Amino acid sequence: MTALTEEIFQRAQASDRIVQGITDREFPLRRDGKRQNTHDNENYRLLDGILFKKITKPTGQEYWPVWVPELLRQEVLEYYHGNRRGMHTGSRKLYLTLQEIVYWPGMAETVKQHCAKCPQCVYESPVNNPKVVLCREHSAEEPNEIVNIDIVGPYPRSARGNKYVLTMECDFSKYVVTVPLKTKEAEAIARTVSERWISPFGPPATRVPTLIRRR
Ligand SMILES: [Zn+2]
């Protein structure tokens, strides 16, 4: 991917009607053809013909991200989100980082939609990831004392409509039960654990089954 240079922004902003509207309003053209850049503009700055907008974070910190015209938004997202920079952090974190660098109206939503299509981001997102890690002080000393429960996926939907695999493993014996699931909702997991582990083997000695994620 080519770098997003100043010229690219200048050209893209020049062809964007919204950016031009703001520029004309905030930095009116003088008779000599130059922009009236008074430098006391509270919310916008024009530097080398490129429009920047002030944002203030809840912490009070001010940033001057560049105003990204519609034409460049996808490219900007891919540039910062792509593999090279590896910002597969889920939409919220990506948004918080991008906020300081780039701006456009409704950016939070665009970032969210963009990340929703990225499997890596979906996995990293705390909302979607039921990552519950209960740290253990010790390993199991007898069968069915500690059961490690993990859910992996989503995988491509199976003929029966399953997308996830729930694994339950006895920490002591390493005996494993795997069950394909349609969803990873807590209720489905609880029901499956009850039917496929607790019912045949009894409840594990640790009252809360340890949900760990090993990758
Ligand atoms: Zn991603």
Tens-digit pLDDT string for the chain (215 aa): 467 788 899 999 999 999 999 999 999 888 998 888 766 778 999 888 899 999 998 888 889 999 999 999 998 888 888 745 566 777 888 888 889 889 999 999 999 998 888 777 776 655 544 444 333 445 677 788 878 888 888 888 888 898 988 888 887 788 888 898 999 888 888 888 889 888 888 887 764 444 444 43
Within 8 A by CB and 6+ apart from 49, the residues are 10, 13, 14, 35
Distance CA 129, CA 135 (A): 17
* Residues 50 and 100 both lie in one domain: no
C-alpha 80 – ligand 1 centre gap (Å): 10
C-alpha 125 – ligand 1 centre gap (Å): 10
Distance CA 36, CA 34 (A): 6
Q: In the prediction, which pLDDT does 123 show? A: 66
* Residues 153 and 200 both lie in one domain: yes
Domain presence at residue 215: no
Domain presence at residue 129: no
Domain presence at residue 140: no
C-alpha 78 – ligand 1 centre gap (Å): 9
Q: Which two tokens stand for residue 193?
A: 């654990």
* Residues 55 and 81 both lie in one domain: no
Please tell me the total count of domains within the chain: 3
Domain presence at residue 133: no
CATH number of the CATH domain containing 200: 3.30.420.10
Q: In the prediction, which pLDDT does 16 show? A: 96
C-alpha 180 – ligand 1 centre gap (Å): 26
Q: In the prediction, which pLDDT does 206 show? A: 61
Residue numbers of the domain that contains 179: 146-210
Q: In the prediction, which pLDDT does 109 show? A: 94
pTM: 0.55
C-alpha 38 – ligand 1 centre gap (Å): 41
* Residues 47 and 95 both lie in one domain: no
Q: In the prediction, which pLDDT does 86 show? A: 60
